[in-house]
A and B are shown apart, each in its own frame.
Chain A
Amino acid sequence: MCLAVPVKIISIEGEQAEVDIGGVGRKVSITLTPEARVGDYVLLHTGYAINVLNEEEAQETLNLLERMVEAGESGD
């Protein structure tokens, strides 16, 4: 219902930020995420960052899934 893609913030100027995904660049608004900093990854929807992505949560999810599927395999 709402397509949003993870992009990396390359530079910030006031409420506008330069972002990148796979080398594709565009100027977007960070009005909805004033806490966003250069180097952060944000969820981009229709030209606006709607959330700052949580890198620890992402890593934790992947570790949790890896452990869970390994546990599954060892039949416990």
Chain B
Amino acid sequence: MNDRILLAHGSGSKLSHDLIEKILAPPINNPILSRMDDSAVFELSGKLAFTTDSYVVNPIFFPGGNIGRLAVCGTVNDLSMSGAQPLYLSLALIIEEGLEIEELRKIIESVRQTAEEAGVQIVTGDTKVVNRGKADRLFINTAGIGVIATGLDISGSMAREGDKIILSGGIGEHGMAVMSQREGLQFRLPVVSDCAPLNKLVAEMLAVSNNIHSLRDPTRGGLASTLSEFARQSGVGISIEEDKIPIHDGVRGACELLGLDPLYIANEGKLVAAVAPDDAEKVLSVMRKNMYGGQAATIGEVTGERKGRVVLKTRIGSSRILDMPTGEILPRIC
């Protein structure tokens, strides 16, 4: 077996089959995938959720995870945020010629561990290899299907006046973990990416309340974007208290250093929920018992004023508009 991916690995040749049969399929195999037909075949009934996402994170290995774990978590979380129980995932790889096979092995092992942790199966996949320089080492796309329990209708457009806004933990950890590895910016961060599958956390929340109106994982654009989306989609105002927002000192320190606002930094293992006021305490306490919700906190509420906007109450008692980010989040010197 070569130690690097060659163009031939993507050409449907013997090498391609070896790559799939010896490296890619074994760790994640299951009865559906093992049939190796052109598409996965399975039966499902009830209301379904279906989603897809692509992953181009650079670098592909970062403190707290890698592109493989990220690709499973992203799709598992997107399904969970619509109240679905994630079941089946697809996994498509676009590999740059020259990627070490040992690195691919580590990434597939990470896909396996994360899928197992989330209790989902990779049932179909594809592999393509492109010339050196045409992709940045590895791109991954995953799509996923899940089943939504009857009567459940969770959406960014369902937040209602009086709902409490609950955040499941500290913000900005993934974005800063990746940025700390970037060329020209290296710094040592005492916190790692929060990349994690949240389907079990959501299931535990749904078990104690059926008044969770909105759920979303604040990935790119951070907490500020998700809150702005809720306010706009639901046509409500949202008021947030700055000093209630959990944030790790390391993320705060790195953001001070680079002149960034942590409210706009990506998360990959956090969720924001709009919950009816009477259920807020119940939901909060069950979240805190889950390993991914230990720092969960109520950070604000849905209001009737300033519809479509998010207002942040600052520590010193004044308030300001919290808007969507515009363009790439760049470190600044002034």
Q: Indicate whether A and B are direct neighbours in the complex (CB within 8 Å).
A: yes
The chain A residues found within 8 Å of chain B, CB to CB, are 1-3, 5, 7, 20-26, 44-46
Residues of A within 8 A of B191 (CB): 23
With A24-B187, A24-B257 in contact, is A3–B250 under 8 Å at CB?
Answer: no
From DSSP, what is the main secondary structure of chain A's interface residues? strand
- CB-defined contacts of B304 to chain A, threshold 8 Å: none
Is the CB of B253 closer than 8 A to any CB of chain A?
yes
Q: Are B334 and A24 in contact (CB under 8 A)?
A: no
Q: How far is the CB of A17 from chain B (nearest CB, A)?
A: 14
Q: List 29 A-B contacts (CB under 8 A).
A: A2-B334, A3-B259, A3-B333, A3-B334, A5-B257, A20-B253, A21-B253, A22-B190, A22-B249, A22-B251, A22-B252, A22-B253, A22-B254, A23-B189, A23-B191, A23-B250, A24-B188, A24-B189, A24-B190, A24-B253, A24-B254, A24-B257, A25-B187, A25-B188, A25-B190, A26-B187, A26-B188, A45-B333, A46-B333
| Bound complex: CA A67 to CA B190 (Å) | 38
Size class of the B contact interface (CB-based, 8 Å):
10 to 19
Determine the residue in chain B with the shortest Cβ distance to A2: B334
Chain B interface (Cβ < 8 Å from any Cβ of A): 186-191, 249-254, 256-257, 259, 332-334
Q: How far is the CA of A26 from the CA of B257 in the complex (A)?
A: 10
Since A7-B257, A22-B252, A24-B253 are in contact, a sample of 17 more A-B pairs with Cβ atoms closer than 8 Å, ordered by chain A residue number, is: A5-B256, A5-B257, A20-B253, A21-B257, A22-B250, A22-B253, A23-B191, A23-B250, A24-B188, A24-B189, A24-B190, A24-B257, A25-B188, A25-B190, A26-B187, A44-B257, A45-B333
Report A-chain residues with C-beta under 8 Å of the C-beta of B259: 3
A3-B259, A5-B256, A5-B257 known; A23 and B334 CB under 8 Å? no
Number of residue pairs across A and B with beta carbons under 8 Å?
A: 46
Chain A residues whose CB sits within 8 angstroms of the CB of B250 once the complex forms: 22-24
Residues in A with CB closer than 8 Å to B256 are 5, 21-22
Complex CA distance for A67 and B248, rounded to whole angstroms: 33
Cα–Cα distance between A32 and B257 once the two chains are bound (Å):
18
- Partner of B332 from A3, A25, A44 at Cβ < 8 Å: A3
Query: In the complex the two chains form, what is the Cα distance from A5 to B333 in whole Å?
Result: 11
CB contacts (< 8 Å) of A24 on chain B: these are 187-190, 250, 253-254, 257
Task: Output the residue of A1, A3, A23 with the most chain B CB within 10 A.
Answer: A23
Q: How far is the CA of A25 from the CA of B256 in the complex (A)?
A: 13
Q: A3 vs B256: C-alpha distance in the bound complex, in angstroms? A: 9
Q: Which of A2, A20, A22 contacts B333, CB < 8 Å?
A: A2
User: Nearest chain A CB to B62's CB is how many angstroms away?
Assistant: 16
Shortest distance between the CB of A45 and any CB in chain B (Å): 7
Nearest CB in chain B to that of A6: its residue = B256
**Residues in A neighbouring B252, C-beta threshold 8 A:** 22
- Taken together as a complex, chains A and B put the C-alpha atoms of A23 and B176 apart, in Å, by 13
